[in-house]
Chains A and B, each alone.
Chain A
Amino acid sequence: MSRDPRATFAATAAELVEDDLSVALVYAEISGQYFGEVEQRHPERVINVGIREQLLVNVGAGLALTGLRPVVHTFGSFLVERGFEQIKLGFNHQDVGGVLVGSGGSYDNTGGGRTHQVPGDVALMDSLPGWTIHTPGHADEVEEAMRLAVAGSGRDYVRVVAQQNREAFPVRPGRFHLVRRGQGATVVAVGPMLDPVLDAVGDLDVTVLYANTVRPFDTRSLRAVLGTPEVVLVEPYLAGTSSRCVDEALVDVPHRLLALGVGREELRRYGTPADHIVAHGLDAAGIRRSVSEFLAA
């Protein structure tokens, strides 16, 4: 049984604080259950700001202004949506680096409803220049993404979600992994979408690329492996988020694109993550249905 991605993030963050005097962790109550020990050991560099998400982001930026490497964490919804102007101005406009870690994703908390779901986080972050956007699909990738991001000096967003693939791949920002080579269409599976994609296209002659870092978008690999000029994006957040990247990659190639992901409309249903995955057509059967229709068109 593999580790829990969120617990893995927390344990990795704690280790990084422990090992590196220049690393600071800022959080807003959420995930506090994981941070008690490291906060007690390093109260100057592990800071709980309370339920104050605007402050959360700008405290991270302020720490960065003094040369520290901040890890800033809460649920993705409160981090990116509530604190968006703070991200834009605190990090981009001040031109400082930091590692933002949002948990929960599009459907980890289905009982909690819309307030705790953030299908738009990658699209929002993508409206700002220069962010490396990590979409780990395995707890081991969460750990590697965290270590890589914290060791750097740029701006990183790490999207930590519960859904996981069977296998972990190395984290190499700017590079997608070629998981399967076929003659036909190319399917780009982002984060935890890899397993349902592989299960969906098992008998189809398609290429599968895997992205555990979705920005920068690996246009070079997409062009290099392209068979028939047909691309399917499968993203565990707002459908179409990476469509522009595919279009930019293939600007000189007449192509067709199918963009699968979380629907734009509010579901207004509770249930389980599995229910939501099916509702968004992101289970293997749903992906298979959409891909077959697309390829038959």
Chain B
Amino acid sequence: MLFRMTTAEALVAADRWPEYTYADLGRLMSSMTGDEKHSTAATSTLDVIWVLYDSVLDVSPETVDHPARDRFLLSKGHGPMAYYATLAAKGFFPVTWLADWASYDSPLGHHPDRTLVPGVEISSGSLGHGLPLAVGTALGLRAQGIDSRVVVLVGDAELDEGSNHEAIELAAALDLGALTVVAIDNRSSSYAVPGRIEERFATEGWHAVGVDGRDHAQLRLALSRPQPESATGKPSAVVAYVEEKA
């Protein structure tokens, strides 16, 4: 039964599959939504997540439980189709899981559950938890002398939640250079102020840049180590601008 499939079994299955590319993601997402074309909201995270798993993060189905793997924490857990599609494309679990997602027997819900899905680092859904969890994760890795990266994806409206700001302040104070926040900005926050996200991170002592959230070369450059100030232990924020939410 798919629901009970272990990581190892999923890997065996994965070995039989062709290698998927970015061009396949739309089809994989269509197998979930039944839609030919996806709304911009559904794909707002697509390019960031693909670039991370394709060319930035040091994590694979083989190292999914390795203590020194890089961690990607999807804090903005809603609209996880692009995340699931990428994980399936990279072989973390069978692509056949996508079709019946959110059914009673599927491990794939509308919000990801780390106990059900291989490769998922945190269970998310309620906003404002991923970044604080990422701070704890980065501290735990550092305490154990593990030089892995922790990348956490948040939405611009998610930053409304005050819990994030507790985390933003502490991460800079404790020099968590291993930590990167990617904020997908599709202007969905009420009472937004243009440019505020970058400015706030910078004010709190982070290295902060804004990039085109659809431009893979820009994303790769911004998300790759070393950041210009990583030597000083500054955590890094990348604001990825995408189309405005309809």
Partner of A45, one of B114, B128, B133, B143: B143
Asked if A66 is an interface residue, CB under 8 A from chain B, the answer is yes
**Contacts of A66 on B, CB cut-off 8 Å?**
67, 136-137, 140-141, 143-144, 146
A-B pairs with beta carbons under 8 A, tally: 102
**Most B Cβ at <10 Å: residue of A59, A63, A70:** A59
Partner of A86, one of B113, B132, B162, B173: B132
Number of interface residues of A (CB under 8 A): 29
Asked if A90 is an interface residue, CB under 8 A from chain B, the answer is yes
Segment 24-75 of A: residues with Cβ below 8 Å from B: 24, 26, 44-45, 47, 49-50, 52, 54-55, 58-68, 70
Query: Shortest Cβ distance from A59 into chain B, in angstroms?
Result: 4
Q: In the complex, identify which listed stretch (B27-35, B119-127, B197-205) lies at the interface while the others stay far away.
A: B119-127
Segment 16-33 of B: residues with Cβ below 8 Å from A: none
Asked if B169 is an interface residue, CB under 8 A from chain A, the answer is yes
Asked if A89 is an interface residue, CB under 8 A from chain B, the answer is yes
Q: Is the CB of A58 within 8 A of B129?
A: yes
Asked if A183 is an interface residue, CB under 8 A from chain B, the answer is no
Q: Is the CB of A63 within 8 A of B129?
A: no
Q: Is the CB of B143 within 8 A of A59?
A: no
**Contacts of B113 on A, CB cut-off 8 Å?**
93
Q: Is the CB of A24 within 8 A of B140?
A: yes
A selection of 19 A-B contacts at a CB cut-off of 8 Å is A24-B139, A49-B166, A52-B169, A54-B132, A55-B166, A58-B132, A61-B133, A62-B132, A64-B140, A65-B136, A65-B137, A66-B140, A66-B143, A67-B140, A68-B143, A86-B132, A94-B115, A94-B122, A95-B114
Residues of B at the A interface (CB closer than 8 Å) are: 67, 113-115, 121-123, 126, 128-129, 132-144, 146, 162-163, 166-167, 169-170, 173-174
Residues of A at the B interface (CB closer than 8 Å) are: 24, 26, 44-45, 47, 49-50, 52, 54-55, 58-68, 70, 85-86, 89-90, 93-95
